[in-house]
Structure 1
Amino acid sequence: MSEELHALLDLLDLERIEQDIFRGRSGGPVVVPRVFGGQVAAQALVAAGRTVPADRPAHSLHSYFLRPGDPAVPIVYSVDRIRDGRSFATRRVVAVQHGQPIFHLSASFQAAEEGMEHQEPMPAAPDPLTLPTAEEVLPAHADRFVHPSVAQRILEARAAIDLRYAQEPPFVTAGEPREPRSQVWFRTNGKVAGAADTPLTHLCLMTYVSDMTLLDSVLLAHGRGGWAVGDVVGASLDHAMWFHRPFRADDWLLYDQESPTSQGGRGLAQGRIFTRDGRLVASVIQEGVIRVPRGG
C-alpha cells in the first residue's frame, strides 16, 4: 500500500473506548477549516459495522450533517443497536464534538441471500487510464482558484485516492453553463492488503470518496466553479447510499453523477457507481447548501 492509503486506513481504524462507543480523529491536510464530510460518514459506518457480524455487510445508509466538524479535536461515535433480526440489522450512530452532535447516521445490514436480479446498463465513459491524473489537472489550473495553494492542498488531501475526471471539472469551465452531469473514475492509491482488506473497509472507502465530487453536477448547470474558485459557498446537508453488489475500492470504479434540480439555496445530486466491467455496485443521493455570495 502507498503511505497515503495506509494513513487513510489508519484514519478509519477507530479506537473503541467503551461498549459501542468509538473515537476517531482527523488527519492530513485540511482543505477547508472543517472536517471533510466523507471522513465523518466513513468513520460512522466503521463504528456501526463493528457492532454487526462480519457476514452482514451494509446495504444502505442515510445521514445528516448537523454542524461543521472541528479538525483539531477527536470525534466520538456512539452506536445504538436498534434492531438485530434474522436477516437484517439496523444501527444508529451519532458523532459528537464539544458536547454537541455534528453528524447522524442510520445504517442497515443484511445477511447474503439470493433474489431477483436486474440493473441499468453502465453509461459510456472513457477508459480511466486514458484520462489525466489529478496531479496533471489541478496544478495546470491553479490560477483559477481563490489562491494557487488551494490546488496543492486538494492534491494532498486526496493523495490516497486516484481520482480522474472524465470531462473538464467545474473549476475549469466556470462561467460556462453545461449539462448537469459529470463522471469521475476513482480507486485507492495502491492495493488494500492485510487485516484491513475486509468488505467493511471497501464500503467505508467508497463512502469516503462519494462525498468528494457529487455536487459538481449542480455547479455545472449554472457555470459555477465551486468554493475553490470562490463563486459559491456550499456544504453537504444529507447523504444517502445503497450498496447493491460486492466491489473493491482499489479497482477502478466509475462515478456517474447528475443533478435533477436546484432551488432555495440547495442543490440535489444523484450518482451511480459501476465497476469497470459494468456492474452497478452503489447508488448515491446528496443534497447540499449551494449559495452564491452577494455580488457573486
Structure 2
Amino acid sequence: MTTVNDLLDLLTLEKISENEFNGISKTVGSPNVFGGQVLAQAINAASRTITNNRVLHSMHSYFLEAGNLEIPITYNVSIVRDGGSFSVRRVTAHQGETTIFILSASFHKKEEGYNHQIEMPKSIKQPEELLSWTDMLHQFGEAIPPRTKGFMEIERPVEFKPVEVVNPFNKEDLPPFTNVWFKLKGDVSNLDLASKQQILTYISDYNILAAAMNRHASKAHWGNTQTASLDHSMWYFRDFDFDDWLLYSIESPNTSNARGFAKGNIFSRDGKLIASVAQEGLMRPKG
C-alpha cells in the first residue's frame, strides 16, 4: 500500500449479508495481522449498519488471538441498541472457527453542548524540521538494526516523522513519552467523516507502545521483547481533515506484570484535539 486509496480499499469490507462482512489483510512488517487494520475494519463493519446519520464517538476492543495474514477475516455485527440519541454495535471478528477480536462501538446523534479541550504540547518541532521514517532509512539504513530496518522498508500509505528519535545503540532509559507527526499519502480531498475516523483508527495502533518501551530502553528493545496489542480504546471528539500533518502525542503512565499501558492524544497542526487513545499491550521479556 502506498496511498490513501490503497488503505481505503483495504478497510472497505465486502458485504456478505446485512450484518456480516469479509476483509483481507496486508502486512505492515510483522508476521501477524496489524491490530490497527482489524480495529479499522471492525469500525467499517459497524458503521455500515448505522442508517440514522449518527457519528462514531467511542470504541472499546480486545485482541484475543493473533490474526493470520493469509486467511480472510469475517466481521459479524450485532445491533445492541438504537436509542433516542445513541446507537451501539458489537463486532466479532473470526478467522474460520477462531474468534480473534471483539469490539463495541457507540454512535451519537449530532448535538450542541459545552466545549473545552487540553492544549497541544508546546515547543514541539514542526514536521518540516524532522526526518521521516523514509528519510531515516535512506540516510542511516545500514546502521539500523535488521528487524527495525525490515519494518521501515515496508511501503505505507502514511508518512511518520517522530519528534524524539531513539538511538537503539544508546543503552539508556528514556522518558516514557513520544510525539509523532503523521500525514497521509495521496488525494485526501473527498473523504467523509466515517472514512476519516476509520483511517485515524488504523493509524492509532502505530507508535503507541513505544512510549512504554522508552522507559526501559537500557535493556528492552523490539528484538528481545515480545509485544502485542491486548486492548484498545478510542474516543473521537471533532471533525478534521487529513490535508496537513497531525500530531500523535503519547505517554505511558505504567508498565507492570509484562504489560505496558499507554495513552495518547491526536491533534491537528493548529492545536485542535481530534481524538484520544488508550491501549495496554504485552511487553514480555524473551527468555
Structure 1-normalised TM-score? Answer: 0.91
Q: Distance in 2 between matches of 1:261 and 1:173?
A: 24
- Partner of residue 100 from structure 2, selected from 91, 99, 102: 102
Partner residue of 1:181 out of 158, 164, 177 = 177
Counterparts of 2:198 and 2:6 in 1: how far apart (Å)?
Answer: 14
Q: 1:226 offset after TM fit, Å?
A: 3.6
Count of aligned pairs: 284
Measure the CA separation in 2 of the matches of 1:5 and 1:89: 28
Normalising to structure 2: TM-score of the pair? 0.93
**Shift >4 Å, 4+ stretches:** none
Name the residue aligned to 2:43.
45
The one-letter code sitting in structure 1 at the alignment partner of 2:96 is H
Of 261, 266, 269, which residue of structure 1 is paired with 2:259?
266
**Counterpart of 2:25?**
26
Kindly state the Cα deviation for residue 122 of structure 1 after the two structures are TM-superposed.
Answer: 0.7
Task: Check conservation: 1:205, 1:249, Cα contact below 8 A.
Answer: no
Which one-letter code corresponds to 2:270 in the other structure? D
Whether 1:155 aligns to 2:148 is: no
2:75 to 61, 74, 77: 77
User: Is the aligned partner of 1:248 residue 2:241?
Assistant: yes
For the 8 Å contact 1:252–1:275, the answer to whether it is kept is: yes
Distance 2:65 2:215 in 1: 27
Partner of 1:216: 210
Question: Which runs of no fewer than 5 residues in structure 1 stay unpaired?
Answer: none
Deviation sequence 1:50-89 (CA, Å, 0-9, x none): 1113621100000000000010011000000100112110
CA distance in 1, matches of 2:45, 2:281: 24
Give secondary structure in 2 for the equivalent of 1:47: helix
Conservation of the 8 A alpha-carbon contact between 2:23 and 2:74:
yes
Structure 2: segments with no counterpart, 5+ residues: none
- Give the root-mean-square deviation of aligned CA atoms: 1.8
User: Shift of residue 225 of structure 1?
Assistant: 6.0
Report percent identity of matched pairs.
41
User: Aligned equivalents of 2:171 and 2:200: distance in 1?
Assistant: 31
Distance 2:18 2:35 in 1: 25
The letter for the 1-side match of 2:272 is: R
| Pairing 1:235–2:231 present | no
Aligned amino acid, residue 176 of structure 2: P
Q: Deviations over 1:217-261 (max 9, x none)?
A: 11100115642xx12111000000001111123432110000001
